[in-house]
């Protein structure tokens, strides 16, 4: 829904939040005026400036929030991204203006972790072959079990830990790499620590739970795939940019790795002519890992709570700006 107005307190660009829903009602009951819209980048300069002129808070979806947009909102006090990734927000520009950028950490943890295993089992048990039945092909390809397999986790944060917990229930051996490795948690949950090359080399299944920045962009490239087992399966529910997609397609097509199962891509929506959609051995879903009723409800509530806290003079939660304490309002 698009509802342009120049007197809104809270701009909501998250596509799964709607006028009159629980989040909208929560904010309006607190006396705030809300407006819902998507496509700020496609909006004309005049309408966009009018829309942003009085906005004090933005609840952001996947639309890009460029620095110039933030400059057009002089009263802006907080940006909350409904999710944990925030590479679509110009954090540097927000920081320069003293505006905290927050995420709804933890709200989609279980949803994403479960989707990792939906993808993992789809690859391990050849689930996409079921489409052949409608064309009269009865194939019974041999699959593989998760029990006893090694799961490599890149990024042992909140979601990575949830994935590890489920993996242990399947009887998997779990290895993880994280520059900020939580050794205490790992010891308590029988997670082995490895450097990046160790995890790549030993993983039967490799799952990525990484933010996208200069240190992670194209982390999985041709050299990384060359390190992996020839039947390894790569699963990505984090950010598309952490994988060199051309190298991945080449690795799957030539048998350098066994398969890949992806929920995120460099360009979204994924173009219909993308090789990722036309390479046997690559499974795709449309960025739905966190898209459960429960996760979306929790994310919306968390975002609204943060907005109400900050506009009420409180301190925000889950701030991602570097050195936020240096400019936080006293």
Q: Which of 92, 145, 268, 294 is catalytic?
A: 268
Q: Which of 239, 256, 266, 296 is catalytic?
A: 239
The yes-or-no answer on residue 287 being catalytic is yes
Q: Which residue has the tokens 């051309």?
A: 246
The yes-or-no answer on residue 137 being catalytic is no
Q: Which of 144, 287, 301, 318 is catalytic?
A: 287
Query: Which of 222, 208, 327, 319 lies closest to 265, judged by CA?
Result: 208
The yes-or-no answer on residue 325 being catalytic is no
As a whole number of angstroms, the distance between CA 28 and CA 264 comes to: 34
Q: Where in the sequence numbering do the catalytic residues fall? A: 239, 268, 287
């Amino acid at each position: 829904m698009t509802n342009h107005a120049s007197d809104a307190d809270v701009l909501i660009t998250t596509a799964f939040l709607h006028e009159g829903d629980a989040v909208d009602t929560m904010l309006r009951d607190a006396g705030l005026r809300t407006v819902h819209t998507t496509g700020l980048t496609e909006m004309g300069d005049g309408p966009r400036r009018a829309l942003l002129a009085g906005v004090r808070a933005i609840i952001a979806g996947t639309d890009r929030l460029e620095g110039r947009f933030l400059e057009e909102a002089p009263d802006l006090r907080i940006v909350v991204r409904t999710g944990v990734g925030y590479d679509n927000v110009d954090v540097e520009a927000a920081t320069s203006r003293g505006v905290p950028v927050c995420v709804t950490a933890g709200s989609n943890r279980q949803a994403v972790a479960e989707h990792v295993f939906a993808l993992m089992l789809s690859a391990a048990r050849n689930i996409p072959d079921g489409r052949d039945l409608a064309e009269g092909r009865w194939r019974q390809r041999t699959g593989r079990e998760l029990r006893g397999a090694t799961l490599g986790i890149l990024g042992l944060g909140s979601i990575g830990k949830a994935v590890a917990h489920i993996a242990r229930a399947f009887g998997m051996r779990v290895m993880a790499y994280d520059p900020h490795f939580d050794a205490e948690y790992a010891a308590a949950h029988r997670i082995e620590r490895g450097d990046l090359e160790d995890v790549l080399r030993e993983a039967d299944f490799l799952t990525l739970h990484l933010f996208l920045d200069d240190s992670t962009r194209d982390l999985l490239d041709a050299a990384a795939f060359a390190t992996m087992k020839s039947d390894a399966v790569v699963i990505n529910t984090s950010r598309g940019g952490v994988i060199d997609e051309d190298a991945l397609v080449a690795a799957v097509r030539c048998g350098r790795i066994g398969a890949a199962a992806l929920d995120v891509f460099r360009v979204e929506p994924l173009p219909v002519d993308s090789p990722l959609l036309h390479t046997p051995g690559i499974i795709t879903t449309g960025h739905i890992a966190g898209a459960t009723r429960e996760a979306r409800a929790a994310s919306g509530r968390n975002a609204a709570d943060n907005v109400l806290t900050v506009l009420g003079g409180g301190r925000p939660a889950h701030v991602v700006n570097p050195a936020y304490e240096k400019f936080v309002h006293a």
